Structure 1
Amino acid sequence: MNNNKLLTYDIMEVCLLAGSIMLRSGAETYRVEDTMMRIAESFGVKESHSYVTPTGIIFSIEGSEPTKTKLIRITDRTTDLYKVTRVNSISRKISSGELTLEKAYHLLKELETANLTFSIKIQVLAAALASGCFLIMFQGDWVDFLPAFIAGGAGLWSVIYIHRLVPIKFFSEFLASLIIGLLSFIFVKTGIGQELDKIIIGAVMPLVPGLLLTNAVRDLMAGHLVSGLSKGAEAFLTAFAIGSGIAVVVSFL
């Protein structure tokens, strides 16, 4: 009986660890729930239930013994789709019987602590290049490519470092968009840039919450109304923070 109880708790730990990694990395809530239940089923659990929101996971396992339920809180979320893919790969190996419970737990623990993201320099460079390309996509002139390149890179750099100083997501996004607006205005005033609106639009695109909006719609379509609405609200607040920063610059300069 005690061995069965320990095994059940071990299965719960593996399922919750996989779910928390996925949710922290930007996965949809319905995908997190499905992965957790598939892992539990692969380890012989006939009936399990999961309830996932952007800020927490509730998971329970039913059996001959009293139902076991555990709740974990999710306080930080980012975008790391490579980790989501790795968890899915581990889940498929569990389903095919290639991994034992202990091996799966160790792999997930290693993945949880692994830093798989690109360096800040590469992220800023990619954001800068994307900003210039968005400018051209929105029919801007090539003369404005460099201003959008610089403003976009500075915007993402501001988000990263301001968030480290003040861990309030919307505050960092507001200040970053304010910096983008100021830089764009300076470029136009000094004659380096020509079209202020195109430079600003291109530079703020790396800050736009595209993944949040996509996940919100997919969760709503999957019937997860609470998660869909909460992610939609988060995306709205992010867009509002970005728009407010630009509005301040346009209004006062």
Structure 2
Amino acid sequence: MMGERIEDVVDVCLLAGKLMLESGGETYRVEDTMMRIAASFGMARSHSYVTPTAIIFSIEGTNSTRLIRISERSTDLAKVAVVNDISRRISRGELTLSEAREELARVAYAQPSYPLWQQTAAAALASACFASLIGGIAHFLPSLVSGGAAFWCFEMVHRLVKIRFFAEFFAAFVAGWLVLWLAKAGFGRDVANMMIGSVMPLVPGLAITNAVRDLMAGHLIAGLSRGAEAFLTAFAIGTGIAFVLSIR
């Protein structure tokens, strides 16, 4: 029975860590959360090693060491906050092991907080506001259209092709092409400002922030990995825009 309980604790810890890492949580936060959950269920000596692509977790003094791969990563800070809340409730003794697993399973299978059309609308508005901020209100409408279209294309292509580089490249290409087309049609004057605003929703801000935070915390492998991921995203965006300008 004790062995089964240990495996159950490891399952809960790994599920919590997987949810946080897939949703954009920092590696140090994932490690801390997993060890706190284990300690709350009586496993005071646990060890976790987290990178952006894998989690290794073990309970000291037992033969239980597990590894899981992380193949999909996105940004869903609402899920990170929910898992953090579940972890705190476990620490306060408000949830049993089975209840914690059920709560985490509900989070895992929950639909995104916002449907695609709302995400696209928010991305379009953000693009328009950025372009207006740096170039004037005349760029609001064209950046609204191009930014929204770019984000929607990114989501659609990424669902078909599970390689983010190609989805980001195509989205940036669409944004640049629409900006040029709208500028020729007489909407907006500064093409550069409109392009900057249009690709803002694609910029890897969270990845860069997490990379710096992980490096400062001493998680060198995780920090370098996230930094490389952010660089590839920035490179894909720049390549997409450059391709549009080259065939202009």
What's the TM-score bracket when you normalise by the shorter of the two chains? over 0.9
Q: Which residue of 1 aligns with 2:8?
A: 10
Query: What residue identity is the alignment partner of 1:42?
Result: S
Q: Which residue of 2 aligns with 1:37?
A: 35
- Is 1:168 paired with 2:168? no
What stretches of structure 2 of length at least 5 have no aligned partner?
A: none
Q: Give SS of 1:67's match.
A: coil
CA distance in 1, matches of 2:176, 2:131: 15
CA distance in 2, matches of 1:116, 1:233: 27
CA deviation after TM superposition for structure 1 residue 141, in Å: 2.1
CA distance in 2, matches of 1:117, 1:56: 25
Q: 1:84-233 alignment to 2 at 5 Å?
A: 84-138=80-134, 140-233=135-228
Q: Once the two structures are aligned, what percentage of the paired residues are identical?
A: 57
Q: Give SS of 1:193's match.
A: coil
CA distance in 1, matches of 2:112, 2:229: 25
CA deviation after TM superposition for structure 1 residue 102, in Å: 0.8
Query: What residue identity is the alignment partner of 2:116?
Result: I
- In the superposition, the TM-score normalised over structure 1's length comes to 0.96
CA RMSD in angstroms comes to 0.8
CA deviation after TM superposition for structure 1 residue 163, in Å: 1.1
Q: Give SS of 1:78's match.
A: coil
CA deviation after TM superposition for structure 1 residue 172, in Å: 0.7
CA distance in 2, matches of 1:88, 1:137: 35
Runs of 4+ in 1 over 6 A off after TM superposition: none
> Is the 2:179–2:194 contact (alpha carbons within 8 Å) kept by the matching residues of 1?
yes
Give per-residue Cα distances to partners, 1:95-130, cap 9 Å, x unaligned.
011111111011111111111321111111101100
Give per-residue Cα distances to partners, 1:167-217, cap 9 Å, x unaligned.
211001001100111110111112122110010001100000000000001
What stretches of structure 1 of length at least 5 have no aligned partner?
A: none
- Is 1:77 paired with 2:73? yes
CA distance in 1, matches of 2:87, 2:139: 47
Query: What residue identity is the alignment partner of 1:203?
Result: S
Query: What residue identity is the alignment partner of 1:94?
Result: I
CA distance in 2, matches of 1:166, 1:15: 31
CA deviation after TM superposition for structure 1 residue 67, in Å: 3.2
- Is 1:21 paired with 2:19? yes
